[in-house]
Structure 1
């Protein structure tokens, strides 16, 4: 193969990948746009709020993704839009525990401990969303995260028959935001692969721990 044909083939493959990734990205955004809210005052009331975890700090600095999610959770509770929280995230080791860190900050905001539940096996978005239903019996809930993350989380929820809406909270601008947004494009392609081809399930399920109030 000549150098020119190699370059042409490589460019064609790269362009095809970009088109596929962009199409998936736009399709997921379109499929979920009617389930996303930007203001606490306008979002419908749901009993359960699923807060998706992330690290509280980046180096020595507070992570704005985390701060915006926690502040939004406080507002949801104070405005009676959510009654109980399911805090889902990674529990990699003793010094890194996303659910417990979120719980500690919500307790500081005077949210009762009885209104807070922890999911230590929310290793990724698919795990968090599916476990909310299969382990915690939550068929209807409000997700709290940034808009780009809302779209993927809601897509997963919709695929698995879960009635979820999402409060889209702010995120950082500039290079940090662009970097995260690029990774999100790849994560959406991975989600399509996991759901429709690999049939991936959460890493752990385990016994049920219902957080849905009894209607009896």
Structure 2
């Protein structure tokens, strides 16, 4: 009986030692984790404190304007070149067509994600209203049906300058062509110009801004 109790005592002390060693290792690990968390919090606070000490303008201007913020440009007069002024004066029908897209194209924007609702007719976007002579093939392939006007000026009324769909236009000072403007030529066909206008003003976002007194963003 004494021998059994002795062995039991040895086993108990052995288990007790294992328990204490494991508990001490667990406590040491917990202290290390707590110390790491505390150091992480301190480093995070230091980083935030340093970042908040930097002026907001320096943060916004430290990278190219790709986050929705653009550096304000100084506005000065004249805000056009002689070539741009000539393009606006010599291509008045094209200028009127572009202004019509900026004023009315939001009514024809693709706002229905399922494309179930028909788009309302916007006859102001028909280039023929501004003196452009377009073929039936061009109308059916390049111009949406709701952009075609059924009420056109009387053919007996003389048009000062009738422009053909194959003519090339210099859009410098009239319209930004985006990715299409790979060079400084600024010369595009009517098909390319209408595609660009429909892409910008008749896409998934509607822009209604021509009524604003100040249009500079």
Question: TM-score w.r.t. structure 1 length?
Answer: 0.31
Higher strand share: 1
User: Quick one: higher RCO (CA 8 Å, sep 6+), 1 or 2?
Assistant: 1
Which structure has the greater CA radius of gyration? 2
TM-score norm. by structure 2 comes to: 0.31
